[in-house]
């Protein structure tokens, strides 16, 4: 039987499974000693990745006056992680009786705390193992217990529960109703496991994979989860194809443009995905509460312009060389078209990367659900439409 005598840091149990940036955000709330202990228990490469994010997270934490980030985007309440309570004794039981209870408990059950309740199951106090070991055998539990202990109610939302766990750092938390009746227990590591699971599900959600789907999900059930979003993707692809079809004559007369369509779509799509990833991460960590959306949009527009300009220079040079060798048209004008289109597409995709998840959240949908499907459509329409419009205006 394992006996735990302290409320030490439990988050390291799942830090290795988390995104390094998220793990760093969680660790940034802790003391330097706890951070050092947590990283020392991780594989060297994992600890290094997490540590690389700690400086920026610590700085951001200080700027926000030490308030932990609420983990927005987590659904559910603490009740879904609750298990049946164990380790329950009465206030009149002695220390000797409590130790005998622990010895006789099923070895598979790890006793971390003793929960003291009255005849109506109302939680009166809690004892850690060290309290029992340091007390006299004849003392009653009500003499040495910690009164009015911290407890969750079953309707506490997950973001609030995670932030409380970051502050308290207990291994096990009691769950009581409004009257103080002990309903069950929640392991601290289960909370952090839940965070890791939710974050890992975001990548699949962005392409229409349901959060509930696992590798063991039956084929027909997985089909029902995935297929509707593929139909949505098909409809949005038709929209992009319609825009390209509007400039069919331009493509037919300047065939070289068709070669650069996937180049433009790929670059603008990647720019949009970068903005989308940052926005989703900020929503998850609650950073958008203190960071104006207009400022984020301005940042992404500037980044899009800078990235589009330097990427566009390379693409324009490639167009100039190709057009000059193949004699497909005016090389200088075609190069200018590519440069302007790349800048505009990257700026627009940055805006879409911010607005798509925010719009989904505004309408009550999961901000991560199928975001990339809509983002890809918008960036394709903008990027390819802008390039073909410029080519038509300047060359036709």
User: CA–CA separation, 121 vs 326, rounded Å?
Assistant: 85
pLDDT at 31: 61
Give the list of residues 6+ apart from residue 9 with CB closer than 8 angstroms, or none: 30, 34, 37, 38, 169
Work out the pLDDT band at 339, boundaries 50, 70, 90: very high
Work out the pLDDT band at 53, boundaries 50, 70, 90: low
What is the rounded average pLDDT of the residues 319-332?
A: 83
User: CA–CA separation, 151 vs 182, rounded Å?
Assistant: 9
pLDDT at 13: 45
What is the rounded average pLDDT of the residues 253-279?
A: 83
What is the rounded average pLDDT of the residues 27-38?
A: 63
Asked if residue 268 has pLDDT above 70, the reply is yes
Q: Minimal CA–CA distance to 381: which of 234, 244, 211, 217?
A: 244
pLDDT at 283: 75
β-strand partners of 157: 77
Asked if residue 275 has pLDDT above 90, the reply is no
Residue 360 CB coordination number (10 Å): 17
Which of 27-31, 217-221, 281-285, 290-294 bottoms out in mean pLDDT, i.e. has the lowest?
Answer: 27-31
pLDDT at 8: 37
Task: Give the pLDDT confidence of 361-380 residue by residue, as tens digits.
Answer: 787 766 666 677 778 888 88
Highest mean pLDDT among 1-5, 202-206, 381-385: 381-385
pLDDT at 148: 85
Strands 88-89 vs 113-117: parallel, antiparallel or unpaired: parallel
| Secondary structure E strands in the chain | 88-89, 113-117, 123-128, 146-147, 172-176, 182-187
pLDDT at 362: 80
pLDDT, greater one: 69 or 140: 140
Q: What is the mean pLDDT of the chain?
A: 77
User: CA–CA separation, 278 vs 296, rounded Å?
Assistant: 10
pLDDT at 70: 37
Residue 350 CB coordination number (10 Å): 30
What is the rounded average pLDDT of the residues 39-50?
A: 62
Work out the pLDDT band at 30, boundaries 50, 70, 90: low
Which helix (H) or strand (E) element contains residue 344? Answer: helix 331-362
CB 142 within 8 A of CB 124: yes
Tell me how long the chain is.
396
Backbone φ, ψ for residue 343 (5° rounding): -65, -50
What is the fold of 78-190?
Answer: CBS-domain (3.10.580)
Work out the pLDDT band at 141, boundaries 50, 70, 90: very high
3-state secondary structure of 327: coil
Give the global pTM.
0.49
Strands 172-176 vs 88-89: parallel, antiparallel or unpaired: unpaired
Query: How much of the chain exceeds pLDDT 90, in percent?
Result: 19
CATH architecture of 218-395: Orthogonal Bundle (1.10)
Highest mean pLDDT among 52-61, 147-156, 247-256, 383-392: 147-156
pLDDT, greater one: 242 or 69: 242
pLDDT at 92: 93
Q: Minimal CA–CA distance to 71: which of 274, 288, 276, 275?
A: 288
Residue ranges per domain, the chain? 78-190, 218-395
Domains 78-190 and 218-395 share a fold: no
Asked if residue 76 has pLDDT above 90, the reply is no
Task: Give the pLDDT confidence of 172-230 residue by residue, as tens digits.
Answer: 899 999 999 999 998 887 777 676 655 555 544 444 444 555 566 778 877 877 777 77
Distances (CA, A) of 98 to 72, 106, 118, 184: 41, 14, 15, 20
- The CA-based angle 79-117-178, given to 5 degrees, is 45
């Amino acid at each position: 039987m394992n006996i735990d005598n302290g409320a030490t840091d439990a988050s390291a149990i799942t830090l290795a499974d988390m995104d390094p940036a998220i793990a760093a955000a969680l660790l940034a709330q802790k003391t330097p000693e706890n951070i050092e202990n947590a990283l020392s228990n991780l594989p060297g490469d994992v600890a290094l990745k997490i540590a690389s994010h700690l400086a920026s997270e610590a700085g951001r934490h200080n700027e926000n006056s030490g308030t932990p980030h609420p983990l927005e985007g987590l659904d559910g309440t603490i009740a879904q992680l609750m298990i049946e309570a164990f380790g329950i004794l009465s206030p009149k039981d002695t220390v000797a009786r409590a130790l005998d209870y622990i010895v006789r408990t099923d070895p598979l059950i790890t006793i971390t705390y003793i929960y003291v309740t009255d005849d109506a199951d109302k939680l009166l106090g809690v004892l850690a193992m060290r309290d029992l070991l340091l007390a006299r055998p004849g003392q009653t539990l009500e003499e040495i217990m910690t009164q009015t202990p911290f407890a969750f109610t079953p309707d506490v939302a997950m973001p609030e529960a995670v932030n409380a766990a970051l502050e308290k750092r207990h291994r096990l938390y009691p769950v009581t109703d409004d009257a103080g009746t002990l309903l069950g227990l929640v392991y601290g590591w289960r909370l952090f496991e839940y965070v890791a699971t939710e974050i890992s599900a975001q990548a699949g959600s962005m392409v229409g994979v349901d959060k509930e789907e696992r590798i063991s999900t039956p084929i027909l059930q997985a089909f029902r989860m995935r297929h509707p979003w593929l139909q949505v993707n098909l409809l949005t692809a038709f929209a992009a194809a319609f825009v390209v079809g509007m400039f069919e004559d331009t493509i037919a007369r300047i065939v070289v443009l068709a070669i650069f369509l996937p180049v433009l779509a790929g670059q603008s799509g990647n720019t949009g995905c970068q903005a989308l990833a940052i926005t989703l991460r900020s929503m998850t960590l609650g950073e958008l509460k203190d960071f104006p959306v207009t400022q984020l949009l301005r940042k992404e527009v500037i980044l899009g312009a800078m990235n589009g300009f330097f990427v566009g220079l390379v693409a324009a040079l490639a167009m100039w060389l190709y057009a000059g060798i193949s004699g497909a048209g005016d090389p200088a004008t075609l190069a200018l078209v590519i440069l302007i289109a790349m800048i505009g597409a990257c700026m627009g995709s940055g805006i879409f990367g911010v607005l798509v998840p925010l719009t989904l959240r505004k309408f009550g949908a999961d901000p991560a659900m199928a975001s990339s499907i809509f983002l890809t459509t918008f960036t394709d329409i903008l990027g390819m439409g802008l390039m073909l419009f410029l080519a038509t205006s300047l060359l036709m």
